Amino acid sequence: MRDVLPIGLLILGLAVGQVAAGQVEPPRIELPRQALGPEDLAVIINDLDPTSQQIADYFVKRRNIPSQNLIHIRFKPGDPVMDLKTFERIDRSVRAATPAGVQAYVLTWTLPYRVGCMSMTSAFAAGYDEAFCATGCRPTRASAYFASGSDRPYTDFGIRPTIALAGETLADVQALIDRGVAADNTLPSGTGYLVNTTDSARTVRATTFARTIERLGGAVQLARIDADAIENKDDVLFYLTGLVSVPKLDTNRFLPGALADHLTSTGGQLIGSGQMSSLRWLEAGATGSYGTVVEPCNLLDKFPHPTVLIGAYVTGSTLIEAYWKSVRMPGQGMFIGEPLARPFGGYRLVRDGANWHLTVFALRPGRYALQAAEDPIGPYRDMAQFEKVGFQPVQLTLPAGGLLQVRIQPITPK
């Protein structure tokens, strides 16, 4: 069972609206914007690749991406690595065509996954810069977006997190997009499996597992598993492990919105790698994954940090935000998945006797005001204040009947 913050607020003294006899109308709830939306994404389409165009068409329709946020480019498809000269030409045209408010990019191809020493997603996000690369077991340039509370990464840090809608077939990618859409606001009760394998070089993230469970176990069910794989699990929400190739993936059921990756050297080499491709996670049913495209060594900062990844996701970040915030040094890493999947957005509202019980995950730690009004346009009045101090969901209690408009607003420190 999940614990919740000890916040129980009973709103009193609010004038109620008119409700027909025998009816109890639930209040309409408005949460603060704390995540990217369709209008924040630009979709990059290769006009020389029919599959790229089909992926873009499907994604745009499913996610209602504004037409002005479609960016068309041209390059010969099918090669795993793009030459730097071609990338720089494309990058200039993309940046010139990007609407000012766009905060992130979506790529609509699987190949190429790399340019020079950088992943394709990181090169589009930050521009090609060899400071994001390293020869040997060395650190690279860090991302200022790591573990941040920002939902405006380009405005705040000058980078546009980028993810690829990747898959070996069009049907694979369409199924991926469908899983992302299906995940939204589901508040899933699945399990995060943190797997400590016998591969000592690749299971270095296990040093973070105890802390992750300590900090996040009240928000989501987490299980440390000492084995090379899990099998026959029907509730996989997170699966983080370290192994060259992960067996028994097809025995498990991944929930819509599930995140999964394996720490190894070349998982981000999506096609043709000598190690397991990160695409295998998506084919097994995950909605997002990550892998490196060149040898990163087993430096933790080059891979998703479990606490940051899970913590961002369960407090309402989209998939693209959670994955990008979790990697301190992302230059060599390829991000793949459905970007707007947001299983912990929204809220749950349940009536119990005279009261409504509101459960909200999608709030970052901070102070908030609970406000109410009798009309959608206000005026709103502060009814109570509360503080979210961790990752657990907030529970608020509202009296039933007549609370037509309720919203939660962040309190900005003076």
pLDDT, tens digit, 9 for 90 and up, residues 254-287? 999 999 999 999 999 999 999 999 999 999 999 9
Summarize the confidence of residues 358-368 as an average pLDDT.
94
Write down the pLDDT at residue 224.
Answer: 98
Q: Could you tell me the two tokens for 112?
A: 């190429």
Q: How confident is the model at residue 24 (pLDDT cuts 50, 70, 90)?
A: low
Q: Three-state SS string across the chain, please?
A: CCCCCCCCCECCCCCCCCCCCCCCCCCEEECCCCCCCHHHEEEEEECCCHHHHHHHHHHHHHHCCCHHHEEEECCCCCCCEECHHHHHHHHHHHHHHCCCCCCEEEECCCCCCEECCEEHHHHHHHCCCHHHCCCCCCCCCCCCCCCCCCCCHHHHHCCCCEEECCCCCHHHHHHHHHHHHHHCCCCCCCEEEEEECCCCCCCHHHHHHHHHHHHHCCCCEEEEEECCCCCCCCCEEEEEECCCCCCCHHHCCEEEEEEEEECCCCCCCCCCCCCCCCHHHHHHCCCEEEEECCCCCCCHHHCCCHHHHHHHHHCCCCHHHHHHHCCCCCCCEEEEECCCCCCCCCCEEEEECCEEEEEECCCCCEEEEEEEECCCCCCCEEEEEEEECCCCCEEEEEECCCCCEEEEEECCCC
Distance CA 115, CA 122 (A): 10
Q: How confident is the model at residue 308 (pLDDT cuts 50, 70, 90)?
A: very high
Q: How confident is the model at residue 10 (pLDDT cuts 50, 70, 90)?
A: very low
Write down the pLDDT at residue 398.
Answer: 85
Write down the pLDDT at residue 5.
Answer: 37
More confident residue, 217 or 355: 217
Encoded amino acid at 288, one letter = G
Write down the pLDDT at residue 8.
Answer: 41
Summarize the confidence of residues 199-226 as an average pLDDT.
97
Ranked by mean pLDDT, which of 236-245, 366-375, 382-391 comes out on top? Answer: 236-245
Asked whether residue 21 carries a pLDDT value surpassing 50, the answer given is no
Phi, psi of 88 (to 5 degrees): -65, -35
Write down the pLDDT at residue 119.
Answer: 98
pLDDT tens-digit map of 88-116: 999 999 999 999 999 999 999 999 999 99
Ranked by mean pLDDT, which of 15-24, 264-273, 387-396 comes out on top? Answer: 264-273
Instruction: Say if pTM beats, i.e. exceeds, 0.85.
Output: yes
Q: How confident is the model at residue 401 (pLDDT cuts 50, 70, 90)?
A: low
Q: How confident is the model at residue 402 (pLDDT cuts 50, 70, 90)?
A: low
Looking at every residue in the chain, the average pLDDT score rounds to 92
Write down the pLDDT at residue 187.
Answer: 96
Asked whether residue 19 carries a pLDDT value surpassing 50, the answer given is no
Asked whether residue 7 carries a pLDDT value surpassing 70, the answer given is no
Asked whether residue 320 carries a pLDDT value surpassing 90, the answer given is yes
CA distances from 297 to 138, 302, 308, 310 (A): 8, 9, 21, 23
Write down the pLDDT at residue 400.
Answer: 63
Write down the pLDDT at residue 374.
Answer: 82
The closest of 125, 115, 129, 133 to 302, measured between CA atoms, is: 133
pLDDT tens-digit map of 154-212: 999 999 999 999 999 999 999 999 999 999 999 999 999 999 999 999 999 999 999 99
Write down the pLDDT at residue 161.
Answer: 98
CA distances from 196 to 192, 201, 207, 246, 262 (A): 13, 11, 9, 12, 11
pLDDT tens-digit map of 49-64: 999 999 999 999 999 9
Asked whether residue 136 carries a pLDDT value surpassing 90, the answer given is no
The closest of 151, 73, 169, 96 to 410, measured between CA atoms, is: 151
Q: How confident is the model at residue 14 (pLDDT cuts 50, 70, 90)?
A: very low
CA distances from 218 to 73, 117, 390, 391 (A): 46, 40, 9, 8
The closest of 289, 37, 307 to 151, measured between CA atoms, is: 37
Asked whether residue 2 carries a pLDDT value surpassing 60, the answer given is no
Write down the pLDDT at residue 347.
Answer: 95
